[in-house]
Structure 1
Amino acid sequence: MTAGGRAGGEPPARGRRRDQAIALGWLVTIWVLLWGDLSWGNLLGGLVLGAAVLLFFPLPPVSFGGRLRPGPLFVLVVTFVAELVSASVHVAAIAVRPGYRPRGAIVAVGLRIRTDLNLALTAEVISLVPGSLILEVDRDAGVLYVHVLDVRRPEDLTAAGDRIRAVERRLVRAIGSPAEVRQLDPKPDTGGESP
């Protein structure tokens, strides 16, 4: 990190404008997806609404210090789609099974990378998969509280936590900084034991 808190010596004002442009792009994309129709009217409406949101409800700056890695990003997208289909089939099977009452549970999962961006992205990906829902995010401790559906035994709770940490690992490998990737799998201490 250099002056202004940005990688590469980028001036803070220029970096802030870039971050706002990226946020505006995402807001327009979400607006068009919500309407389900790519038209000039929806693009213009998304631009106006997105600009108003950024102007009247400014968010604290969240800078992106990572880099996009196409291979891990492809793995993230493919595994997300596979989990989405699998979970949808599972929830549909539960819904049509006569007389079956699924048991839910709340799992607390501590994330290894505690940046706001990682917490938000991991929470979003988890919430998009049917059968899991983020109930709370403890920002200071880096813990997600997740409601999971159809828990039958204690091993299901462990599996849910492992699945959430796997999502975090795939996200960080796809878009995280080199330092964050190193934090995922710290090297074991090879030094000798102290007496």
Structure 2
Amino acid sequence: MSNTPFPDRPHVKPVGKKPIPSFFGGLWRLAVVWFAWPLTNLIVWLQEHLRFPKWAGGDLREFAMRLWGVAWLAFVWVLLWGEVTWANIVVGIVLAIIVMTVLPLPHVPVEGRVHPLAALKLLLTLIGNFVMSSAQVAWAAIKPGPPPLGAVVRVHVAIKSDLVLTLAVDYINLVPGTMVVEIDHLRRMLYVHIFDVSKQSQIDSFFRQMAYVERQFIKAFERDSEWQPSPFHGIDDDYHHVPFSDRQRVADEERRTSRRLLRRRKEDR
């Protein structure tokens, strides 16, 4: 006779984590408490108390950015030679310091925060637009009939940061069938060449796509609740206090102007 109180029931293991998985599962908590938090406090303390000479950037963040630039240029130098040697590394570091001293790049302010999920969604949208636009351009190239009617359209965007605006322009240029031909830096105007505007629906689709790209870039990099203007910010700040209704009115006027131009071109043809 079995000594268990319920001999007919199968043996059930106690519920709970095993010692080893439980130990490794708690490592991230220990890392936050014993490593990440003191490291963050150390960085904040250095930022407030450590002073760097002007040639080194003046503060910890700028000094770190310059170190990154030197390391990147030295890495590119070693890649160009195709051989990792101490001589190539030292020469690459020396040349990188000379380049960054003699030809310094302008300050690029980082005034928001990066949201990985929104940035990932933006990347997936870019891939989808790339595939769809490639198919449309290929079909327009082989279909019979007159060549597609192209046009340059003006788009008003509400992106505040110069860095994010550059990323948005790169996004537009990567999509087949669209190309930014001119940027009005102060008024935040983009002049975009569209491959085919033979139908009004194509123009409306383009404006919807630009509005979506604008919203996604703002959501991914410069939300209003997290925006901190940089002292190096050089754009016209008055534009960013314009109400949304006024920006919408300007956008509607631009759409009406593009429609009138399209009708005139059709009448001339």
TM-score (structure 1 length as normaliser)? 0.68
Q: State the partner residue of 1:96.
A: 142
Quote the residue 2:162 is aligned against. 116
User: Secondary structure in 2 aligned to 1:172?
Assistant: helix
1:16-71, Cα deviation, whole Å (9 max, x unpaired) = 23344566788899x7xxxxxx99839989xx599476455422211212222121
* Structure label with greater radius of gyration: 2
The structure-2 alpha-carbon separation of the partners of 1:117 and 1:179, relative to structure 1 and needing over 3 Å to count, comes to farther
Q: Is the 8 A contact 2:109 2:162 kept in 1?
A: no
Structure-1 separation of matches of 2:224 and 2:144: 50
Among candidates 79, 82, 86, match of residue 41 of structure 1: 82
Number of aligned positions between the proteins: 170
Identity of aligned residues (%): 31
Distance in 2 between residues matched to 1:42 and 1:109, nearest whole Å: 47
1:169 CA displacement: 1.5
Alignment match of 2:183 (pick from 110, 124, 137): 137
Question: In the superposition, relative to structure 1, how do residues 132 and 55 fare at CA in structure 2: closer, same or farther (>3 Å)?
Answer: farther
Partner of 1:3: none
Tell me if structure 1 keeps the 8 A contact 2:111–2:161. Answer: no
Code of the aligned partner of 1:80: L
Q: CA deviation at 1:94?
A: 1.4
In structure 1, C-alpha distance between the alignment counterparts of 2:108 and 2:140, rounded to whole Å:
39
> What do you get for the CA RMSD once the two structures are aligned?
3.8
Q: Which residue of 2 aligns with 1:160?
A: 206
TM-score after normalising by structure 2: 0.51
What letter is aligned with 2:178? S
Output the amino acid matched with 2:161. Answer: T
Judging changes above 3 Å, is the alpha-carbon distance between structure 1 residues 23 and 90 closer, same or farther for their aligned structure 2 residues? farther
Change (3 A) 1:24 1:145: farther
2:127 aligned with 1:81: yes
Residue 63, structure 1, aligned to residue 104, structure 2: no
- In structure 2, the partner of 1:175 is 221
Structure 1: unaligned runs, 5 residues or longer: 1-7, 32-37, 189-195
Q: Larger relative CO (CA 8 A, sep 6+): 1 or 2? A: 1
Unaligned runs of 5+ in 2: 1-43, 49-57, 228-239, 246-269
Aligned with residue 128 of structure 1, among 162, 168, 174:
174
Q: How far off is 1:115 after superposition?
A: 2.3
Separation in structure 1 between the aligned mates of residue 72 and residue 213 of structure 2, nearest angstrom: 21
Distance 2:148 2:136 in 1: 11
